[in-house]
Structure formats: structure tokens, C-alpha cells
Amino acid sequence: MIRLRTYACLSFIATLSIIHHAFTTRGQFYPAAVYLSTSKISLMLLLNMCLVLMLALWHLVKLLFLGSLREAEVERLNEQAWRELMEILFAITIFRQDFSSGFLPLVVTLLLIKALHWLAQKRVEFIETTPNVSKLAHVRIVSFMAFLLVVDGLFMYSSVRHLVRSRQASVSLFFSFE
């Protein structure tokens, strides 16, 4: 299996090459930006780079707040991610009219935030059952939960704001409840 670092490097090179190609063939900013947003291959490469950046940020947050994961945490993460992926795919069928290139990053962001919540829950369970836990572990989990609260608040604010502005049931309703 390809490592994240190798995948990130290849994605970065591909993204730079498609941006270079757009600006050398189009010459000006606006035609190059239109090409990047309308060409299917360039849009796919740009979305792929966004996915790589999101995964790198997820690994950074995980490393900063949790350190290395235990076997039970990895197992629970895999089980719940599979279950949640099935629920999200079902939700995509309900909101298929709203499916766009902006919807996919929101779904991935939602899944990654939920995974961080699962890890926080599992880590709290571990701290509760372990007799000798350092103060650093307590500080890390409390700061991690505060970070998740801020992220949840921002995500909720964005979804509710979109719902109030559009005044119609859309995919923002799904993200608000999740």
C-alpha cells in the first residue's frame, strides 16, 4: 500500500503540473482559472490535493492531541468509519440534487471530524480505566475536546447560516444534524 507521504508528494507534483499547464497554455489568470474549474482532470487533481491536505491536517491534529493510537482505538475507528460511510452514502442518495464538487469536501470533512470525536471518546474511556495517567494526558484530552468544540461550533454556524439564507431543505440540513 502506498504511504501517505509518497501519495502527498505525487499529488503535489500533479497539482503543480496541472496549474503550470493551465497558466502556460492560457496566459492570463482568468482563462487559466476557468480552465482549472471546468476541466474534469484538473478539477479532480485539485480535489485530490484538497483531500491530501485534509488528511495531513487530520494526522497533525491526531499526533498533536493524541499521540500514537492504541490497537483498540484503531479497531473502533475502522468499524465506525465503515458504518458511517454507509450512512453518508445513503444520505447522498437523498440529497442527490445537491451533489456537486463542493459537497464532496464537506462529506470528507464531516467524516474526519466524526473520526476525531470517536478517538476522543475512546481516549477518555482509556483515561477513566487507567489508574496512573499523567497530567499531560489530561491536558491533551481537555485541549483536544475544546478544539473539537470550536470546530463543531464553526461547522454548525456555517450550516445554519446556509439554511437561513437559502430557506430550503438541502444538504446543509444533513450537516447541521450530524
Domain layout of the chain by residue ranges? 1-65, 67-178
SS (H, E, C) 53-108: HHHHHHHHHHHHHCCCCCHHHHHHHHHHHHHHHHHHHHHHHHCHHHCCCCHHHHHH
Residues of the chain with pLDDT under 50: 1
| Residue 98, pLDDT score | 67
| Residue 36, pLDDT score | 92
d(CA 90, CA 107): 12
Asked if residue 170 lies in contact with residue 162, where contact means CB atoms within 8 angstroms, the answer is yes
| Residue 172, pLDDT score | 62
| Residue 147, pLDDT score | 94
Of 58, 163, 54, the C-alpha closest to 174 is: 163
Q: Which residues contact 93 (CB under 8 A, 6 or more apart)?
A: none
**pLDDT tens-place string over residues 100-121:** 767 777 788 888 888 899 899 9
Angle at 62 between CA 59 and CA 64, to 5 degrees: 105
d(CA 40, CA 113): 28
Of 40, 38, 48, 54, the C-alpha closest to 16 is: 48
**pLDDT tens-place string over residues 130-149:** 888 889 888 999 999 999 99
| Residue 82, pLDDT score | 87
| Residue 174, pLDDT score | 64
User: In this structure, what C-alpha cell is assigned to residue 103?
Assistant: 459537497
